[in-house]
């Protein structure tokens, strides 16, 4: 139960497959962009994906905080293992009448890579603030310490949709 409640997004995670032509499609982040490494259209797409990536985590935080699983449909591909994991987490929180209080997720995106026009990968350090799991009547059940993980994510733009969605997440390394 502790693993599920500490970081639900990583409960049912599959490894990402690396593209064989990754060096040709790598785009550095806008703050580190050099004119020789990426075209301006790749950079602007990278910025768009980066903004959406951060938005995905804000929406996920809101879904868990409010225990509203419908919000998850806006951020995950239908086949993303994270969708099922977060739905189960929210269902468990509702069944046990528990709330996550004070949880905040921050992302330090290290790299973004274009696989094709509909798929990007990102590597990031994901930091979870310390938070409390409480009952609905504010009784503290557990205090969860700060956590940090270096992870890889796949963001996809499915045919017929406008938004980038999270399709996979994989923990590379847990950091203290």
Which residues in 1-118 belong to E strands, given as ranges?
A: 26-27, 98-101, 105-116
Q: What is the pLDDT of residue 41?
A: 59
The rounded distance, in Å, linking the Cα atoms of 105 and 95 is: 24
**pLDDT-flagged residues of the chain (< 70):** 1-43, 161, 176
Q: Tens digit of pLDDT for each residue in 136-150?
A: 999 999 999 999 999
Q: What is the pLDDT of residue 120?
A: 96
pTM for the whole structure: 0.75
Domains in the chain, start-ordered, CATH in brackets?
38-175 (3.10.450.50)
**Triad 147, 1, 58: Cα angle to 5°:** 45
Q: What is the pLDDT of residue 38?
A: 52
């Amino acid at each position: 139960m502790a693993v599920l409640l500490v970081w639900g997004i990583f409960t049912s995670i599959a490894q990402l497959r690396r593209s064989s032509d990754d060096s040709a499609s790598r785009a550095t982040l806008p703050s580190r962009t050099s004119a020789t490494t990426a075209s301006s259209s790749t950079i602007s797409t990278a910025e768009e994906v980066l903004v959406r990536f951060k938005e995905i985590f804000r929406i996920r935080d809101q879904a868990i905080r409010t225990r509203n699983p419908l919000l998850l449909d806006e951020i995950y591909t239908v086949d993303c293992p994270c969708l099922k994991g977060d739905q189960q987490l929210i269902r468990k929180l509702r069944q046990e009448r528990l709330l996550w209080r004070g949880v905040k997720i921050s992302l330090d995106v290290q790299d973004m890579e274009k696989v094709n026009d509909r798929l990007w990968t990102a590597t990031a350090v994901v930091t979870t603030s310390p938070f409390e799991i409480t009952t609905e009547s504010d009784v503290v059940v557990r205090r969860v310490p700060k956590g940090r993980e270096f992870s890889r994510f796949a963001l996809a733009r499915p045919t017929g949709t406008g938004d980038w969605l999270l399709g996979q997440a994989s923990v590379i390394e847990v950091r203290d």
